[in-house]
Amino acid sequence: MKSWQLPEHIADILPSTARQLESAREELLALFRVHGYELVQPPLMEYSTSLLTRIDNGLSLKTIRVVDQISGRQLGIRADITPQVARIDAHLLSANNGINRLCYAGSVLHARPEGLLSTREPLQIGAELYGFKGIEADVELIDLMLKSLKIGGMADILLSLGHIGVFRALASAANLDQEQSSRLLELMQDKDTEAVAERVKAWRLDGMWSKAFTLLPTLYGGREVLQYAREKLPDLFAVKTALDDLQAICNAFPQQKVHIDLSELRVDNYHTGLLYAAYGNNSHNAVARGGRYDDLGQHFGRARPATGFSFDLRAFTDHLPKHERPKVIMVNYQDVSEARDTIERLRKQGQCVVIDYGLKSNVSHICTGRLAKQNGEWIVSENNIHSEN
């Protein structure tokens, strides 16, 4: 293997794309800032037990592990930043018993790509709110997510809504054990109604629960699905509460295209309630995902209500506006020492000054002037662009 080759699904980011991503990252963090979200920067690697790999099988499979040569303990390279932010809220920011609004922007690493065209090193950006259980917090985060996607160049967004609480309420009422619930979840995700019906029949569930589980994969569509679900699903308090949450989100975004899917349960194990995702035009996969993960912090010593979203900014590259490299002023390398004060003054003004060593440069084509001495003063001349060396 050649020494310059990279692992599969890992790639360098070249200057033009890097400018796009960094400009979008700065704009997103500025958006989060004016909404009250403070930036945190968790480490790329920590003990694998702190990354919640022990409680989430999906997250565990994504996590790359190494042995710490100092402690001998197992380290994990983060595959998701949310557990780290939950740790920060529960431990480092535990003095605040009120609301913490936190945001982040950093790379994560996956042991395997999530799709054939996916990178194993997403640039994960997200925002999270800790300390408030009301649906109003979810409305705030969804609003922020939709604004973020506009910065990412995504138009005509479809907001997809689900709620893990519906399935869990039915599973609890039907007395399903953990193994049965997990198996049924898998079938729900595939929307395999026949397989669901066969499975609940094999378990000899009561007719009411059998009918409800078979119905669940068919409950998707527009806002009208919620009323249909109220009429057809068992009258359980937890089911009613979940449907009320979904209705509140619909009411908060009356002009937004919304898709309801009560069997959309593709979640990390730490999610506990409302689920939301955003889809762009002609996109089969969600461009952003979020939801409720109340009490995730209990694994770090402090259980708290929490909601948040995240997305991979690198997936937006084709939609981000182009950011050309700033025009440059060149100065001959022989003149740098004498012109140092002028060069630094121009750079402090935000102008790009590049030293010209007399060879072809990757900025030659965007050079707009040359710094040269005229009548005892250093002047930027637009009439003397090309090097005389």
Residue 124 known to bind ligand: yes
Residue 13 known to bind ligand: no
H or E segment to which residue 222 belongs: none
Would you say 89 and 130 are in contact if contact means Cβ atoms under 8 Å apart?
yes
Q: Which of 58, 27, 12 is nearest to 266 (CA)?
A: 58
Q: Where do we find the tokens 């937006």? A: 316
Residue 128 known to bind ligand: yes
- Kindly report the backbone phi and psi dihedral angles of residue 98, in degrees, each rounded to the nearest multiple of 5, phi listed first: -95, -140
Q: Provide the H-helix boundaries in the chain.
A: 15-34, 57-62, 82-87, 135-151, 164-173, 178-189, 193-202, 207-215, 224-232, 237-252, 340-348
Convert 229-281 into a string of H (helix), E (strand) and C (coil). HHHHCCCCHHHHHHHHHHHHHHHHCCCCEEEEECCCCCCCCCCCCEEEEEECC
Residues in the chain: 389
Q: Where do we find the tokens 């930027």? A: 380
Residue 266 known to bind ligand: yes
Cα gap 371→343, rounded to integer Å:
8
Residue 82 known to bind ligand: yes
Residue 356 known to bind ligand: no
Q: In this structure, how many other beta carbons lie within 10 angstroms of the beta carbon of residue 261? A: 20
Q: Where do we find the tokens 């917090």? A: 137
**H helices, E strands: number in the chain:** 11, 16
Please give the annotated binding residues for L-histidine, written as ranges: 80-82, 124, 128, 266
Please give the annotated binding residues, written as ranges: 80-82, 124, 128, 266
